[in-house]
Homo-oligomer: A and B are copies of this chain.
Amino acid sequence: MSVKSRTFEIISRGSDGDRASKLFDGVIMALIAVSIVSIILESFDGFAAQYYGILHGLEVLCVIVFSIEYALRIWTADLLYPESKHPRLKYVFSFLAIVDLLAILPFYLPFVSADLRFLRMMRLFRLVRLFRIFKLGRYLDALNIIADVIKGTLSQLVISVIICFFVMLFSSIVMYTVENPVQPEQFPNVIASLWWAICTLTTVGYGDVYPITAVGRVFAAIISVVGIGIIAIPTGIIAAGFTSAINRNSQAKDDPKKFCPYCGHKLDD
């Protein structure tokens, strides 16, 4: 086996007994975790000042390792897409590769890396890869069911969100009209009023903005009750999706190829 195919094996999800592949996966996951923990620790003023050297060192290590990994993945792209004409181009423009690049590239651009806040946001892209953690172990089935249900009900959920947005827009314009003359500081414009609408319809209710006029409160009351419906619709859609998924699963398990689970009729193979 060539060095290239062995490298590909290691950086891909290897077979169960492949120790090198597991080690590689573990190191990458650990470095992502270290990177996220660094972001959290850096946000503490005292800590960031005292341990700047260590945090910066870890970050440099992460970027180097992720860069090497990125390079190796490009190198072995022709093994990943054996039938593609331009396997490396295909890989570079794949979703995960773009995410990987965005998480490391800024550190090589001096004029960009001066903006620490921007750098932090870019490092967040690494979180995406942490989702690979689900691939290991016994939770994979459960994750697949959740993903299937969300995919299966996606168009209905999108409609719910759009309806929700319409209701929010409508109620924020009404509330702005009603409350602005009385509370010009709380409801200065429709966008600020939209903030109230979102807080109310999602039932978060921070309490920083709320109507004080009689008309405003009556309208807010109606919107609050509508808000229950706005929450109930996606919940209902998802619940129905899971019910349907469980039914499909239990039918599959009953082995429908031998007997119909409902009428008991022996089935033709």
- A→B interface (CB under 8 Å): 36, 39-40, 43-45, 117, 120-121, 124, 127, 130-131, 134, 138-139, 141-143, 145-146, 149, 155-164, 166, 169-170, 173-174, 176-177, 180, 188-191, 193-195, 198-200, 202-208, 210, 214, 217, 220-221, 224-225, 227-247, 250-251, 256-257, 259-268
Does the CB pair A210–B208 fall under 8 Å?
A: yes
How close is A220's CB to chain B, nearest CB, in angstroms? 8
Q: Which residue of B lies closest to A157 (CB)?
A: B229
How close is A33's CB to chain B, nearest CB, in angstroms? 11
A-B contact pairs, 5 of them (CB 8 A): A202-B225, A228-B230, A235-B235, A240-B243, A251-B262
Partner of A238, one of B199, B235, B245: B235
Partner of A160, one of B43, B146, B259: B146
Counted per complex, copies of this chain come to 4
In the bound complex, residues from chain B placing their C-beta under 8 Å from that of A138 are 155
In the bound complex, residues from chain B placing their C-beta under 8 Å from that of A236 are 149, 235, 237-242
How close is A30's CB to chain B, nearest CB, in angstroms? 17
Q: Which residue of B lies closest to A250 (CB)?
A: B244
Q: Which residue of B lies closest to A267 (CB)?
A: B264
In the bound complex, residues from chain B placing their C-beta under 8 Å from that of A203 are 202-205
Bound CA span A203–B199, Å: 9
Does the CB pair B155–A141 fall under 8 Å?
A: yes
Q: Which residue of B lies closest to A212 (CB)?
A: B208
Known: A159-B146, A233-B146, A267-B264. A224 touches B207 (CB 8 A): no
Does the CB pair A199–B189 fall under 8 Å?
A: no
In the bound complex, residues from chain B placing their C-beta under 8 Å from that of A191 are 40, 43-44, 214
Does the CB pair B225–A161 fall under 8 Å?
A: yes
How close is A56's CB to chain B, nearest CB, in angstroms? 18
How close is A126's CB to chain B, nearest CB, in angstroms? 11
